[in-house]
Structure 1
């Protein structure tokens, strides 16, 4: 029975390259799990995730007319959708943060101006 896109099957890793892993499917066909389909996180080295002869559950994501089979491991894993954390009541809004920043910035500028004026006016200008 030929593999169909969308099916999840059990396979065995038969080869590892720098761009993916080859997996033998139950019917003897071999498909490729591209490096981007290994895990949800960034995969720098496939050997950190898979070894030859490892059993893996894969999803068939494509079968092209030439017979090449595209597989995915990460699409078989149920991903838990995380809700954004509820905003805490004591958390300050963006507008409040911006207003506080502008006020602090203006106070610092006034302090710098006073300091510069004191330096200019305090020395006097002596001419002979």
Structure 2
């Protein structure tokens, strides 16, 4: 499943106050698909998605689809440092969506991981997808 390439354009046309609702629907749909859930099953926003059965490979696939569909960059540490849908939504709402104006003050950031750890994760993911 891919995200409609016009998703970022739709967000730009919406009032900023409606972004979270629309973004939540899009992200939840991605997680529901990755977790092989039916449309009537609920994806808990505040639970660790790895505890729900998501694999790191699936999380990376979701990251890539969201980045491509919304025109954003998602730091890998956001996916693996505080792995909840709610935390991912908070992060996405601090990003300018494919040319949309940057939002106001950013939400508090998660504790910074050492650069070495982030670099290691990025290198591992890069190796995984280039193999």
Which band: TM-score by shorter chain?
under 0.3
Q: Counting strand residues as a fraction of each chain, which structure ranks higher?
A: 1
Structure with the bigger RCO (C-alpha within 8 Å, sep 6+) is: 2
TM (norm. structure 1) is: 0.22
Instruction: Point out the structure with max Rg over C-alpha.
Output: 1
Per the normalisation by structure 2, the TM-score is 0.22
